[in-house]
Structure formats: C-alpha cells, structure tokens
Structure 1
C-alpha cells in the first residue's frame, strides 16, 4: 500500500524496453544523437509549435535552469508559498541564478491568487533600485496541494505577469496528470495560456530519470545550452533520457499512465469520504489526496503497512492527523481496497 509518492513506483515496461533498444550499438554524445533529435521533433508536434528542448534527469535541474533564464542576480521570481521550488529544492533555483530570489505568494490549494500577484507587482514599483526587480512567475500544475490550474486561470495570472514585464514558468512535474484531468491539449495548458518555459516531468509518471525543459520563448532559449552545460546537466549519454521520453510519449502512453493514477486517486478519495470522522480536503482532480482522519485510523493504517506522508504538524496528542496520499501509474484497485479495509478496521 504505497501512497507516499508517485516516485516510489518503478518504470513502465515500455520505458525499460526502450532503454534496452537504445543500448544497442553506438550514437553520438552530448545530445547530438538521433533519439534526442527525434524527441525535439516529437515535442514540437505535441505542443503544435517549434520549441527548444533540453533533456535533464531531475525536475530540480529543469526548474532551476528555467529560474536562471528568467531571473538575473538582482531579480525576483514569484511562486506560491508552498511551491516545490521554495519548499523542496534546497535553494537550487537561487544558486543557479547567482543571487536571484524567490518570493512567496498566497492562494488556495497551491494556486497563486491573481490579486496577490498584482499587489506584489504594484508594491515593487515603489522601491526602485533598493529592491530586487520582479522578473518571473513560476506556477505548478498540479500544485503541491493537488490543485489544478485550468488554462483560463493560467492565462489570467500570465497576463498580469506579462504586463509587469515578467516571464512565466510552469513546473510540470505532474503536467501529465493535469492534462489527463483537464482533457485539453498540451498547447492549451502551456504556451497558449501564456507559459514561456515548461519543466516537462516524466519521472513521476513511468520513467526512471527523465525530464525536459521545454522553452517556448526563443529569447530565453538562446543561451540555455550554455546554462545547462555550466550547471553540470549536459549528459554524455543523453540518448538514454531521450529514449525514455520518446517511448513515454508514443501512442499517448504518458496520458494513459497519468489517467490511471488519477483514477486510482479518485477511487481512494471516494472510499475515504465514506469513513466516519474523515475529511478529504479540497477538490481531487489529479493523483493527490489530502485528508484529515482520526489518529486511531492513522495508527491502524501504519500497523497494516500503509505508506504515506504526514502533511501537517499536529501535536502528538492531537486526536486527528492530516496526511497526503499520492497514487502512481502502478497503483492497483486491490491496493486501494486493502488501504480502505485497513482504515475501516
């Protein structure tokens, strides 16, 4: 009963097969290989426009490279106060930018409040050279709280950001899960809504270590190859990352895997809502669930071997706990049923 993260699952069989095939023979290094060229062409098809593609092996690398492109050393990029780039990347974005800063903004379920962004930009105008200059906005879809940004909502905050001279980045570690929930095209959920750069994540959804920074703004792409090399993220055998992503994209596998994870989360949430003294927090549209339940239920689940994150800092004697559950592409209905049975006792 592994619901701690979608990182706990292994790789989809199609991905392992693609790696075995890529291992045959020789090809050029440092991204000059045929598979990387095919990946660039495939992503241009998927996003319905030319784009610059920079494969990497971690989401932190993709996010930090995007941040460095948007944010000069004196710059400021806004993010939600619970965003992964603020809470879970050990200052990597600021390090890549050589001093640029992240500024937190509020909003429900991990989504930045447009009015809060507008107020922050207005306030920044009054301090001139004495304050970091606003340069970027980063969003997450899905958010750290499982929130789902619809294209119109992205467009609203992107408009505010662009009017203020900011570039817009989307952390898409779970972009596939968001698309599967939205049932819109990748273009509609990214550049058509105002996104300039996208961290396109595959590792949480069936790959081993495969991410790509997709850059829609040519001006931001111009020096990205040098940024990636200088940061130590240009891979000698890059074809093995590209091979994973090509297989993942083939025939819509990436969306099928994400849809399965979302469906297992929905099934789990439905069962949790039926339990006494248990509250599912917020809307469950992707593969993440946040729930407050009795401490006794939590202890039964732990004893039964269930794995998940404690999400809030309740006192040890609190009668309830708040937890996060994440369904992966590999989650099974039997696993969901076993979890609910253990919760019921």
Structure 2
C-alpha cells in the first residue's frame, strides 16, 4: 500500500529505535526536571556533535525553541530580522512576539527563501538610536529554508558577519537542520557556531522523534536567562527523561543523519522524475526534503481525487509543496510521479 501523504514530514511516525528508548524509560524512577542521567547524556552527546562547550534546553515544540531563543536574544523593543517567508514570520501565530514580550519581526525579501546580504546590511542599522523605532537586535536564518533551499557555509558566514558587525546576534531556525547538514556535507560545528550562530533551534520531530526539540546555546551567557524562560513558558518537563531519551536514541549510531539523508534522497528522486514530465516546473533550488512545483489545475484536482495530500500555496493555488520524510519509500515517490504524469495535460504542438 502506497503512502500518498506528501503534505508534511510532521505526518511521519517515530523511528523504531526511539520508540524502544521510550519504552526502556517506562520503568523505575529518575530525578525530575532534567536532572536525570539521560538528559545529562544528551548534553554530552551534543557537545561532542558540535565540538564545543554548549548548553542544551530540551523543549516539546519547534515554536517553543524558536520563541525562547529569540526572547533571550532581543529586548521587547528590539527587532528580529528574518526572511518574509520564514516560519517564524508566517506560521507561529505570533509566538516569537509572545515569548519576547513584544519584539517585532521585521521581514526582509530574498530569492529562494534566503536572506540577501545587501538587504540585510541595509536593515541592521535601520532606526538605530531612534526612540520611535524598534532596535535591530537579532538576525534569524532558517536552515534549510522554507522553500527547501540551503545556505552554504560562505553564505551563512557573510550574513552572520553583517549581523556581528552591527552588534546583532544570530539565531538559526533548524527545524530541518539535519536535512541541510547532510545536503551540504558540512560538520555541525561549521554550520553553526563556527559560522557565527549564537543559538540554534535544533529540530528533531520532523526527522524521527515524537515530541523532542532542543535549544542549543553556543553563547552560554544566555543560558541562565533561558532556563528561567523555559520554566516560565511551561517547557521544563517534570519527566524530561522521556524527551531526552528520544534525542539520545536520535543521536545514536547516526540515526539522525541517516533519516535526513533518506528524506533528502526521496525529494531528489521526486525532483528528477518531475523534470521529465511536461507541464510541471520545480521552483527554486531545492536541496533538502521539500520542493515547490507548479502544476496544471486539472492535475492538482486529479491528484486530490486519487487520495494524495499536499500543501497548496495560499497565494498561488497552482503552486504545490511536496515534502518527503524518513518514512517515504521509492515506491511512494514513483506512485506520485506516475499519477502526475497520467494526469498532466498533453504538451501543446
């Protein structure tokens, strides 16, 4: 039976090894509120992964990770400079503003879901020192972006250099962090703190965990504040070992990297197949596990009738988004490609 769900990687289940790790924690007792051995082990694992001393706050959602991170990096009268298509700008119902007690998101344009250095350079000092204006405080980059593109290390370094030169911090929304990582073949250290990132929202739920995300703090001067904010936000779980167990298994034997590589590979297979179907057009330069595609309205309708689920762009109904996951199979992708080809209008002579 084909899985015809391409709407989001959030629809995928949980990696079996992570389920087993949860079951293992079900018996016995452990110290609550993150003082358990498993949470400590996850911190150690992440320090090894990122090759530096850092602090970790485990939370239950990506929105909480982003909101807490940004709140620690900007005052209420500050501005968060982000791409107009970013998740924090479009899809978090004002959570960053809520967590930060009112800091303003200032959206910037840029092709392929990426911030452009010239645009950012013009924004980092806008309104600075003017009491009537919000004060630029932090730059938020999304890696991988909401269009499936990926920043290179050089691009990240240029953006964080502009931010740092203006006295701004840098946050990375890494909801699909691992998909970007395996796409460019970088080390976690090179794609974060060595590139100038101060705090990372380390995504895991889209890539195999159940409800475990992490705020990875490279600028450890922010840790104490973040811990108070974590508790105040209701994100300090009493039985944190169950979230920690997920991340522990996720980081064991490169499961996180394998899951992301598989999801990316399925997206690449889909993109390759679409290239040979007349009337379809892949938008931008997808490098991770999602891609936007222009299809004929009749093709979209046929796919929906056939039971496929996918995201339709809210601004352009002929543009759809397909997302692959660590559970997507080659057969699933080929089934979708066959359906698109069968439903596509014949090419004009």
TM-score (norm 1): 0.96
Once the two structures are TM-superposed, the CA of residue 312 in structure 1 deviates from its matched residue by: 4.4
Q: Secondary structure at the match of 1:41?
A: helix
**What is the CA–CA distance in structure 2 between the aligned matches of 1:117 and 1:313, rounded to whole Å?**
25
**Pick from 326, 330, 334: which aligns with 1:329?**
326
Structure 1: gaps of 5 or more residues? 316-320
Once the two structures are TM-superposed, the CA of residue 99 in structure 1 deviates from its matched residue by: 1.5
Q: Secondary structure at the match of 2:57?
A: strand
In structure 2, the residue matched to 1:202 is: 204
In structure 2, the residue matched to 1:56 is: 59
Once the two structures are TM-superposed, the CA of residue 337 in structure 1 deviates from its matched residue by: 1.0
Q: Secondary structure at the match of 2:126?
A: helix
Structure 2: gaps of 5 or more residues? 343-349
Aligned pairs, number: 339
In structure 2, the residue matched to 1:217 is: 219
**Pick from 258, 277, 290: which aligns with 1:256?**
258
Once the two structures are TM-superposed, the CA of residue 313 in structure 1 deviates from its matched residue by: 2.9
- Counterpart mapping for 1:139-178 below 5 A: 139-178=141-180
Once the two structures are TM-superposed, the CA of residue 177 in structure 1 deviates from its matched residue by: 0.2
Q: Secondary structure at the match of 1:165?
A: coil
Q: Aligned-residue CA RMSD in angstroms? A: 1.0
Q: Secondary structure at the match of 2:295?
A: strand
Q: Secondary structure at the match of 1:130?
A: coil
CA deviations on 1:17-63 (whole Å, 9 max, x unpaired) are: 11001112110100011100000111000000010100001000000
Q: Secondary structure at the match of 2:201?
A: strand
**Pick from 274, 283, 286: which aligns with 1:284?**
286
Once the two structures are TM-superposed, the CA of residue 277 in structure 1 deviates from its matched residue by: 1.0
**What is the CA–CA distance in structure 2 between the aligned matches of 1:46 and 1:244, rounded to whole Å?**
16
In structure 1, the residue matched to 2:269 is: 267
In structure 2, the residue matched to 1:100 is: 103
In structure 2, the residue matched to 1:5 is: 8
**What is the CA–CA distance in structure 1 between the aligned matches of 2:308 and 2:132, rounded to whole Å?**
51
**Pick from 334, 339, 342: which aligns with 2:339?**
342
Once the two structures are TM-superposed, the CA of residue 284 in structure 1 deviates from its matched residue by: 2.1
In structure 2, the residue matched to 1:229 is: 231
Q: Secondary structure at the match of 1:223?
A: helix
In structure 2, the residue matched to 1:79 is: 82
Q: Secondary structure at the match of 1:128?
A: coil
In structure 2, the residue matched to 1:318 is: none
Q: Secondary structure at the match of 1:291?
A: strand
CA deviations on 1:168-214 (whole Å, 9 max, x unpaired) are: 00000000100110111100000000000000010000111010000
**Pick from 17, 39, 51: which aligns with 2:42?**
39
- Counterpart mapping for 1:14-25 below 5 A: 14-25=17-28
